[in-house]
A and B are shown apart, each in its own frame.
Chain A
Amino acid sequence: MSLARILALVCGAGALLATLPWIASDFGLSLVLTCVMYAGLAVTWAMFSGATGYLSLATAAFFGIGAYVTAWGFGTLPYAIVVPLGGLAAAAFAVLVGAAILHLRGAYFAVLTFGLGELVRHAITYFEKSYAHTVGRVLTDVPESWIVYLTVLTIAMAAIAVSAAVRASRFGLALAGIGADEERAQTLGVNTRRAKIAGFALAAFFAGALGAAMAVRWTYIEPNSVFNPFIGFQTVLIAMVGGAHTLIGPLLSSVVFSMLTEFLRLQFPYAFLIVLGLLLIGLVLYLPGGLASIWPLVRARLAALRARSASLERGGAGG
């Protein structure tokens, strides 16, 4: 699909979704909000980690940094300023950290990025206790839920549009080359270090902005709740279940995943994590390419069936 068509689709879907606050129930709206948030996180995660193969668990750290920018800035600064600031703070952090750790690969990189979330969480806890003499912060006068929803929707749609644009660009080609064979890409002229840091920071910007936008929903913000490793894992799972090499996969899977989680939680309040875990294992075992690989599989099967029935018909006519 061409970039222009994808962007048109994104705008159309965004406009449709933007009407929800006036037609959906509170419960429906909050469910869609979760879907949209994970769509933004998973798509930008896939943009960097899916393309390059650098498995980052730093989403929780970036998200938390964004949330803390809101915790500190909200009240003195308007919501519309705090949100992009949260993104910028996370991106700046990603540049600093990326320069130090993006030469590591595989499990080392994954473990280190996981450690980042813990590091920032403890650093903020220490800072708040020692200098601000507090453990958490209360947000008052938070924006109404439809404002939060529209903000998160805008960020997520921008994230999808940017991911699509990156995929179609030289930058995206560089990231894909890094994923395929980093050294080869470098010997063909790719400044791999710069490309990796830029990709890491771009993904961090969206995670940070989403964290900053979502923070006002909690009203009480403390490090343990906003630097939640679950957010990082969930993002990686959604992207992988959907198919991290594709754009549509993480999108699709964020909807399926959020709905499924909600449905299972209501139907099987005690066993839902078990069912979810079994589903995941099944998916990884039998559909390693993710949800995005279903359609090509189905199409190939259909084509094979059609070819067989056509040859049967020919055979029948001949006999």
Chain B
Amino acid sequence: MAEPLLAAQGVSVRFGGLVAVDAVEFELGQGELVGVIGPNGAGKTTFFHVLSGVLAPTEGRLRIGGEDLTGRPAHVFALHGVARTFQTPRVFRDMTAEQNVRFGLEFAGRRRSHAHDAFDDARSILGFVGLGDAAALLAGALTPSRQRLLEIGMALGARPQILLLDEVAAGLTESEVEATAQLIRRVRDELGLGVIWIEHAVRALMNCVERVAVLHQGRKIADGLPQAVAQDPAVVEAYLGDSVA
């Protein structure tokens, strides 16, 4: 098998006595769309911090595109094609939407080649995520749901190979969630990126991804096809009997 885009090998994160992520094995292949779900406090966001270099793992190795980047700072991950969004949108509020997207293009994106027209410039990326009309608006003045789209645009500006999405559908209306799920599919289908999508609310995610991993108390308790995972007794128990799909 070819080298995976991203491989986490026995990754653990401990904060003092608390084990936030516990010996997780995880791989992402080229152009794969994978969901990561889990109850609150399962360690999803901490796991993302590790995958994007924001946080160094206490134990384990991280390989991006075959290269060991364990312990390297976040900008090195970005230069190796890892881009992410944050749970609460972190846009540059005092810059325009276009400047926000151009930021990624000026740094990580500048040193990375691009295969698709949508990556050409800030305007085309804004068009791709559906913010073509907002280019000149200040990011801070956009509605929270449009700020989430802008964050995806900023990440695309870094011309990544791997896109990490942290609860991009949280707080959206049902139709907005549907539109976001569609955008995520297009990121994979049209741009060919590998995508990992974390979500607390799982319904939309389960319908969209082709593989899903479940974190519970820092451990990966399931990893497989959405239908199979939804029926996994350990998963059902973790969600306290809530219907998963």
Which of the segments B15-23, B102-110, B225-233, B234-242 contacts the partner chain?
A: B102-110
Query: A185 touches which one: B93, B103, B155, B157 (CB < 8 A)?
Result: B103
Complex-state Cα separation, A186 to B54, whole angstroms: 8
Q: B107 contacts which chain A residues (CB < 8 A)? A: 170, 174, 185, 188-190
Q: B103 contacts which chain A residues (CB < 8 A)? A: 173, 177, 185, 188
Known interface pairs A181-B92, A187-B84; A173-B75 also in contact (CB < 8 Å) = no
Q: A191 contacts which chain B residues (CB < 8 A)? A: 73, 75
Structural contact, A193 and B73, CB atoms closer than 8 A: yes
Q: A171-195: which residues lie under 8 A (CB-CB) from chain B? A: 173-174, 176-177, 180-181, 183-193
Minimal Cβ-Cβ distance residue in A for B85: A187
Structural contact, B109 and A189, CB atoms closer than 8 A: yes
Query: A186 touches which one: B75, B94, B111 (CB < 8 A)?
Result: B75
Structural contact, A189 and B79, CB atoms closer than 8 A: yes
Question: Chain B interface residue count: which class?
Answer: 20 to 34
Contact with A along B67-104 (1 / 0, CB 8 A): 00000011101110001101000101111000000011
Shortest beta-carbon distance, B151 to chain A, in Å? 9
The verdict on B158 contacting chain A, using a C-beta distance below 8 Å, is: yes
The verdict on B45 contacting chain A, using a C-beta distance below 8 Å, is: no
Shortest beta-carbon distance, A183 to chain B, in Å? 6
The verdict on B161 contacting chain A, using a C-beta distance below 8 Å, is: no
Q: B92-135: which residues lie under 8 A (CB-CB) from chain A? A: 92-95, 103-104, 106-111
Q: B155 contacts which chain A residues (CB < 8 A)? A: 188
Q: B154 contacts which chain A residues (CB < 8 A)? A: 184, 188
Query: A187 touches which one: B83, B92, B94, B106 (CB < 8 A)?
Result: B83
Structural contact, A189 and B104, CB atoms closer than 8 A: yes
The verdict on B12 contacting chain A, using a C-beta distance below 8 Å, is: no
Shortest beta-carbon distance, A191 to chain B, in Å? 5
Shortest beta-carbon distance, B81 to chain A, in Å? 10
Minimal Cβ-Cβ distance residue in B for A186: B74
Complex-state Cα separation, A173 to B105, whole angstroms: 12
Complex-state Cα separation, A111 to B90, whole angstroms: 28
The verdict on B180 contacting chain A, using a C-beta distance below 8 Å, is: no
The verdict on B147 contacting chain A, using a C-beta distance below 8 Å, is: no
The A contact surface, by secondary structure, is helix
Complex-state Cα separation, A173 to B110, whole angstroms: 14
Q: B157 contacts which chain A residues (CB < 8 A)? A: 188
Q: A193 contacts which chain B residues (CB < 8 A)? A: 73
Residue from A183, A184, A185, A188 having most chain B Cβ neighbours under 10 A: A188
Q: A176 contacts which chain B residues (CB < 8 A)? A: 92, 95
Minimal Cβ-Cβ distance residue in B for A191: B75
Structural contact, B104 and A186, CB atoms closer than 8 A: no
Q: A127-155: which residues lie under 8 A (CB-CB) from chain B? A: none
Contact with A along B176-220 (1 / 0, CB 8 A): 000000000000000000000000000000000000000000000
Q: B54 contacts which chain A residues (CB < 8 A)? A: 183, 186-187
Minimal Cβ-Cβ distance residue in A for B94: A180
Complex-state Cα separation, A186 to B55, whole angstroms: 12
Residue from B53, B84, B104 having most chain A Cβ neighbours under 10 A: B104
Shortest beta-carbon distance, B102 to chain A, in Å? 9
Q: B111 contacts which chain A residues (CB < 8 A)? A: 189
Q: A173 contacts which chain B residues (CB < 8 A)? A: 103, 106
Minimal Cβ-Cβ distance residue in A for B86: A184
Known interface pairs A170-B106, A183-B54; A188-B83 also in contact (CB < 8 Å) = yes
Q: B92 contacts which chain A residues (CB < 8 A)? A: 176-177, 180-181, 184
Complex-state Cα separation, A173 to B99, whole angstroms: 10
Known interface pairs A177-B103, A184-B86; A189-B94 also in contact (CB < 8 Å) = no
Complex-state Cα separation, A190 to B76, whole angstroms: 9
Shortest beta-carbon distance, B74 to chain A, in Å? 4
Structural contact, B86 and A180, CB atoms closer than 8 A: no
Structural contact, B78 and A189, CB atoms closer than 8 A: yes
Minimal Cβ-Cβ distance residue in A for B107: A189
Shortest beta-carbon distance, A284 to chain B, in Å? 20
Q: B139-173: which residues lie under 8 A (CB-CB) from chain A? A: 154-155, 157-158
Minimal Cβ-Cβ distance residue in A for B95: A180
Contact with A along B52-69 (1 / 0, CB 8 A): 111000000000000000
Structural contact, A192 and B90, CB atoms closer than 8 A: no
Q: B158 contacts which chain A residues (CB < 8 A)? A: 187-189
Minimal Cβ-Cβ distance residue in B for A177: B103
Q: A184 contacts which chain B residues (CB < 8 A)? A: 86, 90, 92, 154
Sorted nearest first, the 10 A-B pairs with minimum C-beta distance are: A189-B108, A189-B107, A189-B78, A186-B74, A180-B92, A188-B104, A184-B90, A187-B74, A186-B75, A191-B75
A189-B111, A192-B75 known; 12 new pairs, CB 8 Å cut-off, are: A177-B92, A186-B74, A186-B75, A187-B53, A187-B74, A187-B78, A188-B83, A188-B103, A188-B155, A190-B75, A191-B73, A192-B73
Q: List 11 A-B contacts (CB under 8 A).
A: A170-B107, A180-B95, A181-B92, A183-B90, A186-B73, A187-B53, A188-B78, A188-B103, A188-B108, A189-B110, A191-B73
